[in-house]
C-alpha cells in the first residue's frame, strides 16, 4: 500500500473526517490523533469536548501527530459538526433500536472509499470514553459501523477504534501486498537450482551418502523437492554452494 509522502504530510488525500463526540480526556484525543495519522487520515472534529479546546494534554499526547491537533475543528454540538457532511457513519458496539444498517469495518471502508472518491464529505463518529455514542447521536448516521469484538470480552478504547477504522480505510484503498519483492529476493531460476543439485549430489556421492544404492533416486527426489519449494534466491544458492564445498573439504 502506498501513501504518497507529500500528500500524507500535507494531509490532502481526500479522506473521511473523524468526529469525536463529547470526548473526555485530552490524552485520549491525542492518542486518537496519532492512531488516525498512522493511516493517513488527518481531519479531526470535536463536538463539545468536555474540557474545552485547545487542550494541552491532547497536544502533548499527539506529539508528532500535532498537525491533526492543530487543524482540528471544534463545534458546540454534533449537528454543527456534521452540517456540511453528506454521509455519516457511527462507530458503536451497542445494538440500537434503530433501523440503521450495520456495517463491518471493511464494508464501511469500501462505502467510504466510493463516496469520498465521488466527492462526498464523509464523517465517522466516535463516542466519548465513558458512554460511547447516544442513540440521538446514532440517529444522525447513515450507517452504523460495528467492530466485531469478542462478546465475552470487548475493551476497545477510543484510539483503538479510530485505529481499526483508519486501518480499514487504508486497506480499502489498496488491496495489493505491501512492498514489491526486491530484485535480490527473486527466487533463482530452476537452472541455478539444478546446478546446485548437481554439485550437492556429487559431493554426497563422494561421501557415500546414498545407501543402499537402490534408495538413491527416492532420496535425490526428496532433497530436490525440499529445496525446490524453498524459493532460494541466487545469493542463497551461492551460499549453499560454498557450504557444500567447505564441508566436502573436511578430511574424511
- Select 130 or 252, whichever has its Cβ closest to a copy of itself: 252
- Select 117 or 231, whichever has its Cβ closest to a copy of itself: 231
Q: Closest distance between a copy of itself and the C-beta of residue 118, in Å?
A: 17
- Using the structure block, give the residue that is written with the C-alpha cell 478504547: 157
- Select 80 or 203, whichever has its Cβ closest to a copy of itself: 203
Q: Closest distance between a copy of itself and the C-beta of residue 97, in Å?
A: 9
**Can you tell me the distance from the alpha carbon of 99 to that of 120, in angstroms, rounded to the nearest whole number?**
23
Q: Closest distance between a copy of itself and the C-beta of residue 188, in Å?
A: 11
- Select 52 or 235, whichever has its Cβ closest to a copy of itself: 235
The enclosing H or E element of 111 equals: helix 105-117
- Using the structure block, give the residue that is written with the C-alpha cell 546446478: 195
Which stretches does DSSP call E strand in the chain?
17-21, 44-47, 73-75, 87-91, 102-103, 122-127, 143-145
The reply to whether omega before 54 is within 30° of 0 (cis) is yes
Q: Closest distance between a copy of itself and the C-beta of residue 145, in Å?
A: 9
Crossing angle for the helix pair 234-249 and 190-206, to the nearest 10 degrees? 10
- Select 12 or 194, whichever has its Cβ closest to a copy of itself: 12
Q: Closest distance between a copy of itself and the C-beta of residue 23, in Å?
A: 18
Contact 91, 145 (CB under 8 A): yes
Amino acid at each position: 500500500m502506498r501513501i504518497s509522502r507529500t500528500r500524507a504530510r500535507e494531509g490532502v488525500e481526500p479522506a473521511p473526517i473523524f468526529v469525536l463526540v463529547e470526548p473526555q480526556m485530552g490524552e485520549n484525543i491525542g492518542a486518537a490523533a496519532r492512531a488516525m495519522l498512522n493511516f493517513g487520515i488527518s481531519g479531526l472534529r470535536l463536538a463539545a469536548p468536555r474540557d474545552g479546546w485547545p487542550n494541552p494534554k491532547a497536544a502533548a499526547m499527539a506529539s508528532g501527530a500535532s498537525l491533526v491537533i492543530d487543524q482540528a475543528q471544534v463545534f458546540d454540538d454534533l449537528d454543527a459538526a456534521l452540517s456540511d457532511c453528506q454521509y455519516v457513519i457511527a462507530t458503536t458496539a451497542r445494538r440500537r433500536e434503530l433501523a440503521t444498517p450495520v456495517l463491518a469495518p471493511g464494508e464501511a471502508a469500501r462505502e467510504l472509499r466510493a463516496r469520498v472518491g465521488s466527492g462526498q464529505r464523509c464523517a465517522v463518529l466516535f463516542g466519548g470514553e465513558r458512554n460511547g455514542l447516544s442513540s440521538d447521536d446514532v440517529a444522525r448516521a447513515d450507517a452504523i459501523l460495528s467492530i466485531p469484538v469478542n462478546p465475552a470480552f470487548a475493551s476497545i478504547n477510543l484510539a483503538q477504534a479510530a485505529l481499526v477504522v483508519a486501518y480499514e480505510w487504508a486497506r480499502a484503498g489498496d488491496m495489493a501486498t505491501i512492498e514489491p519483492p526486491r530484485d535480490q529476493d527473486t527466487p533463482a531460476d530452476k537452472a541455478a537450482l539444478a546446478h546446485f543439485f548437481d554439485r550437492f549430489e556429487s559431493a554426497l556421492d563422494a561421501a557415500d551418502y546414498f545407501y543402499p544404492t537402490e534408495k538413491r533416486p527416492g532420496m535425490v527426489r526428496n532433497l530436490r523437492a525440499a529445496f525446490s519449494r524453498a524459493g532460494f534466491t541466487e545469493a542463497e544458492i551461492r551460499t549453499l554452494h560454498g557450504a557444500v564445498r567447505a564441508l566436502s573439504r573436511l578430511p574424511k
